[in-house]
Structure 1
Amino acid sequence: MAATNNKLTLPLLAAAMLQFAPLALPAHAAAPQVHSQAPGYYRMMLGEFEITVLSDGTHAFPIDTVMNNITPAQIGRDLDDAGLAQPLQGSINAFLVNTGKRLILIDAGAGALYGDCCGRLLQHLRAAGYQPEQVDMVLLTHLHKDHAGGVMRQGAAAFPNAVLRVAQGEADYWLSKSEQDAAPEFLRSFFDSARAAVAPYQAAGRFQPYAAYGQLEPGIRSLPAPGHTPGHAAYLVESQGRKLLVWGDIVHVAPLQFPHPDATVKYDSDAAGAQRQRRELLDMAASQRMVVGAAHIAFPGLGRIGKTGGPVGTGGSYRWLPVNYEGTPGAD
């Protein structure tokens, strides 16, 4: 009797299961892939100032031919520890400071000088809700292509109403024909690029190098940081006791130069000076719990500095502590 009941039950069970079987619906996974990032801007509040980080793009950084004072074994180990491999994509970041009264851009990316990888700063500036004509001042940390190239567009000023400022020592060096003739061959095109970048601002009377480091605008002052270039500057932005240190090219490759701060790049004008400035600014940022705005750390390049291997000022190594992402920008 039990066997007969089982034979009768099986067809009924199969019919019941069919009622709950998924229907064969058409798939939509064949939608085309986008292959592009979202607009590259990120905001945070610094006291009363609104900071908008703008990405100019990323480019393959040639670690194997550029990095000095670090061994291939250390490079391989540190990149592996960070889950990275060569070629490593390096970010090019710029920092827009809205004080409520003035709109000030610190560094301007590479513009057209690095090819198709970069030159997206103006696109991202507009996506962030601004227009190039609204920028009142552009402060450059130095006149290398990936920081100054973006101030021009097809030979004209990309920020037509802005005053362009850089340390006088930086301008004196990169705008000098005699310094260009004495420079290593691989650096000579940088002089041509610097002259081309500042030319439209010079013509308009808007190129104004500053002779002394210090306060340039309420809440913004320049700090001497020579080494990477002769007149390299950092900018300290401060509002309501909050501090942001925009440090230019103090660090190029975070996973290498935080554990090995004496690692340099061949583009450093003075490698020993670059090492010294790196440790001084790392110690300052760590001891004062500043937020750092880094030109070449993964976008948005905002973070704090942690110290390992001993107290601040005693040597050792460092670590990068990225700021926590906030969907609605709040005060740091």
Structure 2
Amino acid sequence: MTINRRHFLQGAAALPAAAAIVPATANLASASAPKVGQQVPGIYRFTVGDAEVTALLDGHLDFGTELINDLDEAKAAEAMVKNMQPMVNGSLRIPVNGYLVNSGGRLTLIDAGTAQLMGPTLGKLESGLAAVGVQPSDVDTVLLTHIHPDHSGGLVNGEGKAVFENAELAVSKTEWDFWYDDSILAGVPDGNKPFFHMARNTTSPYRNRLKLIEGEGEVAAGFTSLALPGHTPGHTGYMLNSGDESLLFWGDVIHMTGLQFTHPDMTIVYDMDPVQTAQTRRKLMDRAAADNLLVTGAHIDFPGLGRVHRDGDAYRYQAAPWQYAL
């Protein structure tokens, strides 16, 4: 309904009559309800061309600043204030997002969340799917941006069996080969070996319906892969093209919304090649800004949808307005 002056005046004229039938006791406060103490499921739908996209919040991580390489605390604090980002007990609170795309009756999931691999504040993606009426068996394709536990953990249940029993799993061949290379596993420090075991345990149940991506090209109907190496060797983005609109799912190009747009060379200890990570980030954000791309990422503030603008030698993130109707 479009509100105009006539509608407003008609509504205002009805106010005295309506007020007359409200009992005087309506002003009395009822007993206060107990606080709920938790959020509702993180779900947000929007459209891209003919496709319907559902952002799914798997939960959040409290990211300690000790995980940031070569941190300049003064610059970081200034950027956090500038970008209205609070610190929580000395940590940055970052989301873990996944995205479900319905295009032409096919359901494609980009990243699968963590399940129970990373603590009680995460693992809510599957319940988010249930809240929008989607069962794991309904999903046709899962596109992994990379094989870290906050992206692949939700692929399996507590018994190590595939959750998305009918889905094809698509991931970069470079990424797959890295995590399944026994010689690399043998050479990494003991503290890093669990990442390899988690990568294998979460993806191996999909071996018989695995699609390994090489280079850039169509990986599913309407989706094109985009190599974004650095964070991991085969880290991959996916471009959705539908109608005359596009959306780039860029995985972990950004981990910290409040810091890395302002300081694009800032990296974290989980970036396997920090120099390449920063180079990839700048190259991609230059493209996003120049082409006015709509982007979304696994760790951009939920629902993680917006555009990138140049800001001198850095960048600025503009969240997309809420889409009130689909």
TM bucket (normalised to shorter chain) is 0.7 to 0.9
SS at match of 1:264: coil
8 Å CA contact 1:70, 1:260 repeated in 2: no
What CA distance in whole angstroms lies between the structure 1 residues aligned with 2:317 and 2:287?
Answer: 14
8 Å CA contact 2:223, 2:240 repeated in 1: yes
Deviation at 1:29, TM superposition (A): 4.4
What CA distance in whole angstroms lies between the structure 2 residues aligned with 1:282 and 1:125?
Answer: 30
Aligned to 1:192: 197
The structure number with the bigger radius of gyration is: 1
Q: 1:178 aligns with which of 168, 183, 200?
A: 183
TM-score by length of 1: 0.86
What CA distance in whole angstroms lies between the structure 2 residues aligned with 1:270 and 1:166?
Answer: 19
SS at match of 1:236: strand
What CA distance in whole angstroms lies between the structure 1 residues aligned with 2:78 and 2:187?
Answer: 37
8 Å CA contact 1:245, 1:291 repeated in 2: yes
The reply on whether 1:325 has 2:326 as its aligned counterpart is no
Aligned to 1:74: 75
Aligned to 1:148: 152
8 Å CA contact 1:167, 1:213 repeated in 2: no
Q: 1:84 aligns with which of 73, 83, 86?
A: 86
Matches within 5 A, 1:225-264: 225-264=228-267
8 Å CA contact 1:136, 1:163 repeated in 2: yes
User: What is the percent sequence identity of the aligned residues?
Assistant: 40
What CA distance in whole angstroms lies between the structure 2 residues aligned with 1:76 and 1:135?
Answer: 42
SS at match of 1:98: strand
SS at match of 2:213: coil
What amino acid is the match of 1:284? R
Matches within 5 A, 1:71-220: 71-81=72-82, 82-85=84-87, 86-154=90-158, 155-202=160-207, 205-220=208-223
> Structure 2: where are the runs of 5+ without partners?
1-23
What CA distance in whole angstroms lies between the structure 2 residues aligned with 1:25 and 1:46?
Answer: 46
What CA distance in whole angstroms lies between the structure 2 residues aligned with 1:280 and 1:172?
Answer: 25
Aligned to 2:15: none
What amino acid is the match of 2:260? Q
Aligned to 2:58: 56
> Structure 1: where are the runs of 5+ without partners?
1-21, 310-315
Aligned to 2:16: none
Deviation at 1:250, TM superposition (A): 0.3
What amino acid is the match of 2:101? V
Deviation at 1:75, TM superposition (A): 1.4
TM-score by length of 2: 0.88
Q: 2:286 aligns with which of 272, 283, 286?
A: 283
Judged with a 3 Å threshold, the aligned counterparts in structure 2 of structure 1 residues 270 and 33 are, in CA distance, closer, same or farther, namely same
Deviation at 1:45, TM superposition (A): 0.7
What CA distance in whole angstroms lies between the structure 2 residues aligned with 1:130 and 1:305?
Answer: 31
SS at match of 1:209: strand
SS at match of 1:285: helix
8 Å CA contact 1:69, 1:262 repeated in 2: no
SS at match of 2:317: strand
Deviation at 1:188, TM superposition (A): 2.0
Q: C-alpha root-mean-square deviation of aligned residues, in Å?
A: 1.7
Runs of 4+ with deviation above 4 angstroms: 22-27
Aligned to 1:15: none
What is the number of residues matched between the two proteins?
299
What CA distance in whole angstroms lies between the structure 1 residues aligned with 2:49 and 2:85?
Answer: 35
SS at match of 1:249: coil
